[in-house]
Structures are given as C-alpha cells and as structure tokens.
C-alpha cells in the first residue's frame, strides 16, 4: 500500500468527529480534563495532524514557554537514568539525534537527522490509532508521532503517548539500524497477519520495543521507548518483577497501558532479543 493510501485510511480512522468543536476527547480522570487552556491546545495541535497533507513536511508546533519547561524538566530527570540504565544501542544514537534539552524539537528537525541515517521519519498523528494502522506504517519506515505534551500539573505522568514519549523514547532508536530493521519487520508482519495475530504482534511490540529490557554488564538495561521516556518506569526497572524472555509468551500476555507496568520481560542481550523477535515475526511476513 502506498503512503497516500495508508494516510487516507488513517484519516478515516482518526477523524470521525473532526468537524465538531472537540477534536480530542479526554477522559474525566485525565490531568488536563478540567483545564480549558490545555484542552484548546490539544485540539489545536490535533488539527495540525488532521490537516497534514502527504508529502508536506511535518507541521511545526508553536510550543509555549510552559510546554518547553515541562520538556526541560523531564529531560533533566531522565538524563542520569539513561546514563545508568539505558541500553548501549540506544545511547549510541543519542548523540546522532541530538534532541534539544531545553526546547521541544520539531518533528521535521528530527527527521532531518534520522532519515539520512536509516530512512525512518516521523509523521504527525492526532491520537491513538489501531494497532494494525500504527504498525503497518513502520513497514514503510514511517512512525506516527503525537506532538502535544502532557499536562504541566503532572510532568512525570501521561496517560497516553506524548511528544516526550515519541521523541525521547522512540526518535533516538530510529538512528540505529537494528531498531529500524526490527520496527519495519513488525510493520510487514502486521500488514499480512489476521486480526487475531495482529493483536499478538502488538503485544510482542509492547513488551519489546515499548517496555523491553535486556541484560548488559549483568544488569537489566532499558531498550523500550515506554521505559526510556518514563522516569517512574526507569526507576521501577531496578526492583520490578522480571520475567523470562519468550516471544510466544509475550504475544499471549495481555497488558495494561494505563498504569506502570507490573513486570518486564528481560532478554539475555539486545542482540538475542533482535534475533528471537525477528524469527517470530518471520512466520507472518512475506
Ligand atoms: Fe511508543
């Protein structure tokens, strides 16, 4: 399927109420639910994604000083945790992507760094999409990224992926050939798998590229974006329940995206994870 066809499919999926005043409905327990200024920001940034036209550069967001402050605050807390508990493959890419530590980077500036290295690029999306849609874009080395930032009242918590998760968690990994090859493999598998198997593939993605850890120098190091972008998850990795890495088990294990993860699957090494997941996905891809 071409980029155009994929984006058209996605547009139908994510904008059923795009004509209404509220583009992004928030749950009542969302930190920004009672903040009209935040809700207006969410709608304005979502509109940029809805209005995105294939082939254009990713739209620039005019972030406020308060939004930049949230970014800076979380980065300052994550940096030392990354030095100690991020895997070597992720750390290798941090300098190549060189995300600004003070101001929220624009997707297009990040694309200018990662695309020449691996062909990966990040395009805007207003919110959550189905697992098949999200994963399928990866086959074409496109990562759908949100651009809004979490509510300032709870800088260490977000109930859904935000720009901190997308850029700090995922963007650096797109400078690494192994991360990129595996991401693309997830996409190719999701495109051809049955609905039931897409669910299993999505669970495997969750427990690896989102919340995976691998042994390095005798201790578990984070390689998943959900871990790498969360202060709380990085701290929990030191004493959470660690489970034995097994692709079939991960594919059949449900997860809760709304809370800290109660356990992590830990691979013997990043390389062993890459090899085992690639072999598992090969049963689906053409
Ligand atoms: Fe993610």
Domain carrying residue 111: 3-282
- Residue 191 CA to residue 179 CA, distance in Å, equals 19
Q: What angle do CA 90, 133, 265 make, to 5 degrees?
A: 40
- Residue 174 CA to residue 117 CA, distance in Å, equals 8
Q: Token pair for residue 222?
A: 């984070």
> Which are the catalytic amino acids?
165, 170, 210, 229
Residues 170-216: pLDDT tens digits?
999 999 999 999 999 999 999 999 999 999 999 999 999 999 999 99
Helix, strand, or coil here: 213?
Answer: strand
Helix, strand, or coil here: 219?
Answer: strand
Q: Which residues surround ligand 1, an ion (CB under 5 A)?
A: 225
How many A from CA of 172 to the centre of ligand 1? 12
pTM over 0.85: yes
* Tally of domains within the chain: 1
Residues 31-89: pLDDT tens digits?
999 999 999 999 999 999 999 988 899 999 999 999 999 999 999 999 999 999 999 99
How many A from CA of 226 to the centre of ligand 1? 6
How many A from CA of 20 to the centre of ligand 1? 28
pLDDT bucket at 97, cuts 50 / 70 / 90? very high
CATH assignment at residue 136: 1.10.800.10
């Amino acid at each position: 399927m071409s980029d155009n066809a994929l984006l058209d499919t996605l547009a139908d999926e994510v904008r059923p109420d795009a004509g209404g005043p509220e583009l992004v409905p928030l749950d009542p327990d969302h930190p920004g639910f009672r903040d009209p200024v935040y809700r207006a920001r969410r709608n304005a940034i979502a509109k940029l994604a809805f209005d995105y036209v294939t082939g254009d550069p990713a739209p620039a967001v005019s972030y406020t000083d308060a939004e930049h402050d949230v970014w800076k605050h979380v980065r300052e807390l994550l940096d030392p945790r990354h030095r100690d508990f991020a895997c070597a493959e992720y750390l290798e890419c941090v300098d190549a992507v060189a995300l600004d530590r003070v101001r929220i980077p624009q997707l297009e500036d990040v694309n200018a760094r990662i695309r020449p290295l691996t062909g990966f690029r990040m395009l805007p999306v207003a919110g959550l999409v189905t697992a098949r849609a999200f994963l399928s874009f990866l086959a074409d080395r496109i990562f759908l990224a949100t651009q809004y930032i979490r509510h300032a009242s709870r800088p260490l918590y977000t109930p859904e992926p935000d720009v901190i998760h997308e850029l700090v968690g995922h963007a650096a990994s797109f400078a690494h050939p192994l991360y990129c090859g595996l991401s693309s493999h997830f996409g190719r598998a999701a495109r051809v798998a049955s609905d039931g198997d897409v669910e299993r593939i999505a669970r495997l993605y969750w427990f690896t590229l989102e919340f995976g850890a691998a042994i390095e120098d005798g201790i578990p190091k984070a390689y998943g974006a959900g871990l790498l972008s969360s202060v709380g998850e990085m701290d929990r990795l030191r004493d959470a329940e660690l489970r034995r890495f097994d692709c079939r088990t991960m594919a059949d294990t449900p997860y809760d995206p709304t809370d800290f993860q109660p356990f992590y699957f830990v691979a013997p090494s990043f390389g062993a994870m890459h090899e085992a997941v690639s072999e598992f996905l090969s049963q689906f891809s053409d």
